[in-house]
Amino acid sequence: MKEINPVAIAHTVAWGGFALAFIFGAVANKTNFCTMGAVSDMVNMGDWGRMRMWLLAIAVAILGATALQLGGVVELSKSIYMGANFPWLSYLVGGLAFGVGMTLGSGCASKTLIRIGGGSLKSLVVFVFIGISAYVTLKGLFGVFRAGVLDPVALHLGSGQDLPSLLAQAFGADKKEMLELASAVVAGLLLVFVFKDRDFRRNFDGILGGLTVGLVVVGGWYVSGKLGYLAEDPNTLQEAFLATNTGRLESLSFVAPQAYLLELLMFWTDTSRIVTFGIASVLGVVAGSAAYALASRSFRWESFRDPADTGNHMLGGILMGFGGVTAMGCTVGQGITGFSTLALGSMLTFLAIVAGAALTMKWQYARMLREA
C-alpha cells in the first residue's frame, strides 16, 4: 500500500491554488472582469455587460460544482457555506460594508490583486488595509463585535441552508433530486438572462471571462476537496482537508487569505505556518495579472492623486476586510464560490454587496452634483 505523504499533498494543493489563480488573474486582467465595475456600469450607464459576465461565472460554477457533487468527487456540505446556522445579520452587514468598501477602494478584493499586478500602488495600499482589517475582524477588536453582536443573530435551518437541503426538507424529497432540480433551474435562468442579450453573445471577452472564472472556481473545489482530502490523516487519524485555512474544502476567496498572507510574512520563522490554498491563490492572481500586463505592455505605475483619494482607498480597504470576514466571503468568495453551493447566505451576501456598492455610487454622484 502506497504511503500517504501529507506534506506532498499540501504542496500539491498550494500549487494547484496558485495555478488556478494565475489563470484567473491573467484572464480577469485581459477581459476586465470586475464586479465593482459591473455594478458601476449597471447603475451609471445601464450597461449590463460586465454584470452578465459575473452572472455567467456564477452559472458555470453552479453547474460544475453540482457535477462534482453528484459524481461523488467532493462533498460540498463540508465547506463553510452550507451549515444549518444562518447568521443573516452578518451576511447583510458584511455584504453592505464590503459593497461600500469596494466602491471607495476602486474595486473588490480580487480586483485589488489584479490591479497590483498591473502596477497600481494605490491597490497595494488597499491590499495592506484589507489584510489588517480582515485579521482584526478574525481575531482582534472587530472580531469581538462580529462574534458578540452580529453572528448570534441567526436562524437554524435544519439540515442546511442550501436550496437542495431546504427543498428536500420542505417536500420530503430526495436531496440528490433537489440538487439536480435547483442547479438546473438557477443556472438555467442565469444563462437565459446572460445570453438573451445579442451584444453579450458577440462579446468574446465577456464570455471568456465568465467561463474561465466559473471553471477556475470549480477547479478550486476539485483541488482542495479531492486532491487535498484525506479520509484519515496519518498524523491525527481524523478526516482532513490539507493546506486550507478553514480546515475544510475551499475554492477561491480573497479577503481572509490576504490576512493570512500578511500573518505568514510576519511569522515566517514559525515553521508551523505553511502556504495554504488561499495564500497561494492571492499570490497567483497578482502573478497572473502581472504576466498579462507585461506581455500586453499594459503595465503602468499608478499612485494616488490627492490626500482625499488616499483616505477613500484606506477606508475602502478597512470596510472590505471587515465586510469580507463578517459575511464569510467577497464578490468571488461568496458571490461565485459560495453561490456555486446554492447556499442562501451566499445569495443574500451577493445582493447586499451589490446594494452597498450601488448606494455608494448614487451617494458619490449626488455629492459630485452638489459640489459642481
pLDDT range class, residue 369, cuts 50, 70, 90: confident
- The DSSP secondary structure of 195-226, one letter per residue, reads HT-HHHHT-HHHHHHHHHHHHHHHHHHHIIII
Distance CA 242, CA 227 (A): 9
Residue 79: its pLDDT value, please?
A: 96
Specify the DSSP class assigned to residue 306.
S
Q: Are strands 85-86 and 229-230 parallel, antiparallel or unpaired?
A: unpaired
Element spanning 86, H or E:
strand 85-86
- pTM here is 0.96
Residue 367: its pLDDT value, please?
A: 86
**Which residues fall within 8 angstroms of residue 40, CB to CB, at 6 or more apart?**
103, 357, 361
Residue pair 251/337 in contact (Cβ under 8 Å)? The answer is yes
Residue pair 310/299 in contact (Cβ under 8 Å)? The answer is no
pLDDT range class, residue 2, cuts 50, 70, 90: low
Does residue 235 surpass a pLDDT of 80? no
> What percent of the residues of the chain are helix, what percent strand, and what percent coil, each to the nearest 5?
70, 5, 25
Give the gyration radius of the chain's Cα atoms: 20
Q: Are strands 85-86 and 155-156 parallel, antiparallel or unpaired?
A: antiparallel
Residue pair 275/13 in contact (Cβ under 8 Å)? The answer is no
Task: Spell out the domain ranges in the chain.
Answer: 6-371
Residue range 111-167, pLDDT digits in tens: 999 999 999 999 999 999 999 999 999 999 999 999 999 999 999 998 899 999 999
Element spanning 240, H or E:
strand 240-241
Nearest in space to 57 (alpha carbons), one of 167, 220, 245: 220
Does residue 1 surpass a pLDDT of 60? no
pLDDT range class, residue 5, cuts 50, 70, 90: confident
Distance CA 82, CA 225 (A): 15
Residue 238: its pLDDT value, please?
A: 85
Residue range 178-231, pLDDT digits in tens: 999 999 999 999 999 999 999 999 999 999 999 999 999 999 999 999 999 998
Nearest in space to 31 (alpha carbons), one of 114, 113, 108: 114
Mean pLDDT, the chain, rounded, equals: 95
